[in-house]
Amino acid sequence: MKPNFIQKVTNWGNFPIVEKEMRSDDSFKKIKEFVLNHNEVIARGNGRCYGDASLGENIFSSKKLNKFISFDRLNGVIECESGVLLSEVLEISVPQGYFLYVTPGTKFVSVGGAIASDVHGKNHHAEGCFSEYVIEFKLMVENGDIMICSREENSDKFWSTIGGMGLTGIILSAKFKLKNIETSYIRQESIKAENLDEIFRLFEESESWTYTVAWIDCLQRGKNIGRSILMRGEHAYRHELSGNE
């Protein structure tokens, strides 16, 4: 009897819930067989999107592609398989004095998903999207071939895969740059804003800060419509910490 790979699949929003065939493997040979034996295959990371991404008829889950390949501590370049989570990258990089240039609202997304969605963080205005720091990745395309994609090599596939939501193939591994940090702490300021006009002004005044985000009260009316709390932050230097940290 053939194993049953049909299972219920959903994303972070828990809607929709579908019953589809989903496989995961760390063997490129078996991944190729899966691709060639199905007319349509969509890659799936850790399923943290809010919508219906990766809920196709035949799903390849990258969860078993979870190995680190290399870490150049001198230049801050890491290479890993596409199923590695950003949280796992941080676990090994932060103690070495490195941090992700871009991390979205959750650290529990896969590297492949971060590339396919070209995620952004609270520093989007200052440091752009995840793709700014991707050096290259390996992509398995529809005929099972594996391509190395970068700005110089197979650049059309490189740019169509970034933000391509898995439609160009399965990202197998990726190499990307990290940023230097002195500590694992963030120096943060929180500022009240009475209304939308004030919060927009505060954002403009905070343009030089690396991280900015606001919680906005959408229930207020009149002169207090859009009252907010602006939070802005920078990576803390050692000399900014007290003796207790």
Pairwise CA distance, residues 47 & 31, whole Å: 19
Average pLDDT (73-87) is 99
Average pLDDT (231-239) is 97
Tell me the CA distances in angstroms from 102 to 89, 96, 180, 202, one per residue in order.
12, 17, 13, 22
Average pLDDT (113-119) is 98
**Is residue 224 scored above 90 in pLDDT?**
yes
Tell me the CA distances in angstroms from 57 to 9, 35, 60, 72, one per residue in order.
11, 12, 10, 39
pLDDT confidence of residue 98:
99
CATH of domain 65-180: 3.30.465.10
**Is residue 4 scored above 90 in pLDDT?**
no
Indicate left, alpha or beta for 76 from its phi (over 0: left) and psi (-120 to 50: alpha): left
Q: What angle do CA 219, 224, 225 make, to 5 degrees?
A: 45
Pairwise CA distance, residues 12 & 234, whole Å: 29
Q: Which residues of 29-182 form beta strands (DSSP E)?
A: 42-44, 58-61, 68-72, 77-81, 98-100, 134-140, 146-150, 170-180
Does the fold of domain 65-180 match that of domain 6-63?
Answer: no
pLDDT band for position 56 (50/70/90)?
very high
What are the domain boundaries of the chain? Answer: 6-63, 65-180, 186-240
Average pLDDT (168-194) is 98
**Which among 53, 58, 62, 39 has a CA at the least distance from the CA of 143?**
39
* DSSP code at position 237: P
Q: Architecture of domain 6-63 in CATH?
A: 2-Layer Sandwich (3.30)
Average pLDDT (204-221) is 96
Average pLDDT (191-195) is 98
pLDDT band for position 1 (50/70/90)?
very low
